[in-house]
Amino acid sequence: MNDHIVSARDLSKTYKVYARPADRLIEGLLRRPRHTPFNALRGIDFEVPKGEGLGIIGENGAGKSTLLKILAGITAPTSGDFRLEGSVASILELGSAFHGELTGRQNIVLNAAMFGLDRQQVNEHTPGIIEFSELGRFIDQPIKTYSTGMVMRLGFAIAIQVNPDVLIIDEALSVGDGYFQKKCMVHLKSYVEKGGTLLICSHAMYYISAFCKRALWLHEGKAEALGPTQEVVPRYEAYLDSRTDRAEEGPEIVEAAPNAPARIDEARLLTGNTYRHRGALVLEIGWSCDDPEMAFHLGVGLNRPDEVEVASFLSHRSDAGPWTGSTHHTVRFEIPQLPLVKNTFKLYVFLLAEDGLHIHDTRILEDAFTIEYEDYPFGIVAIPHRWRAGGDGS
């Protein structure tokens, strides 16, 4: 227990839902229930060691934000208890900790004081917060004039610069431009590597897998699974695949903005669009960037038309790249022998930052290629195998 900086025991939260406002008053006067209980959380147990990340995943309404609000001290649990050691910073609902009439600079002082910093510490941290937020002259404008992206920039800059022992983040980082998201992700990875403890809620499983050793899957307020990320995330994704609304949800894609620093120019199959089993596939990817010092990795996803993920390929996990030193790049991705035996497939091409976390641009090749077959095979891949008669090993 001593090495766990965050822990929760039988944590539950029940809200009272009233059909009309007057029922709340009537209940108070008559002392008779006039509400319907809604169990947002039920019996949640988990522990997080110092220097690790816990990813909290689940569908909308599963209880993720409620759990983070309890841990951040914004709301109290109905039952159970929890413990967080050391200093805590949170980025939850955008603007919830800011005063709209105050300037960004004044809100830095206010929020830093809420984190427990004295005047001297506030003065020491303020330049770094302003620099990281990149708000420029807007730092002396009222928060009410900020866009949601600007509010997120300031909130993240304050939380990361005060160097908390525990950092709690909801989906706030999904707001804002791709450049600043990349900057945030780099700092989050560095924060955990340096011993910080991260609790993060996100629908982007790629980020959950990158930052967190363990994941907590919430479903209808209960813990559906808790364990290593590489075990929990596939279970959650399989559950989503089984849902009829999976197609509506769609893949998590970050398209290049018009002013993006890098963009894919071309992604084409050099070996045609029709293949047979064990044929070779060659995909040529070309991209350009504004700065020759930028470095890049690539990712390729192979999906069926119904978005079942067949395979994925990442250059930074294959000892390839990063590619740098020019404003124009061309790389060929090769699969010497396709193990696929039937179906039509689509390809996702991702232009990744040097850390392999941020997606600069995406290119989707719908109906990229089709596998021809002579007889009707079962399954979609052919796995090398052999048959043996008897037990003599011959």
Q: Quick check: pTM over 0.85?
A: no
Residue pair 338/345 in contact (Cβ under 8 Å)? The answer is no
- What CATH number does the domain containing 56 carry? 3.40.50.300
Q: What does the alpha-carbon distance between residue 377 and residue 394 come to, in Å, rounded to a whole number?
A: 28
Better-predicted residue by pLDDT, 119 or 247: 119
What is the secondary structure of 107-164 as a DSSP string? HHHHHHHHTT--HHHHHHHHHHHHHHHT-GGGGGSBGGG--HHHHHHHHHHHHHHT--
Same domain, 97 and 227: yes
Predicted confidence (pLDDT) at residue 267 exceeds the cutoff of 90 = yes
Radius of gyration of the chain (CA): 25
Res 209: pLDDT: 83
Asked if the peptide bond before residue 322 counts as cis, ω within 30 degrees of 0, the response is yes
CATH number at residue 359: 2.60.40.10
pLDDT tens, position by position, 133-158: 888 889 999 988 988 888 888 888 88
| pLDDT score of 392 | 59
The count of residues in the chain is 394
**CB neighbours of 131 closer than 8 A, spacing ≥ 6?**
none
Give the separation between CA 189 and CA 105, rounded to whole angstroms. 27
Asked if pLDDT for residue 247 goes beyond 70, the answer is no
Structural domain count of the chain: 2
Query: How confident is the model at residue 93, as a pLDDT?
Result: 65
Count of helix runs (H) and strand runs (E) in the chain: 9, 17
pLDDT tier for residue 96 given thresholds of 50, 70 and 90: low
pLDDT tens string 197-215: 999 988 888 788 888 899 9
Q: Which of 201, 227, 249 is the last residue of a domain?
A: 249
- 243 and 267 assigned to the same domain: no
Q: Is 42 part of a structural domain of the chain? A: no
Domain hosting 326: range is 262-372
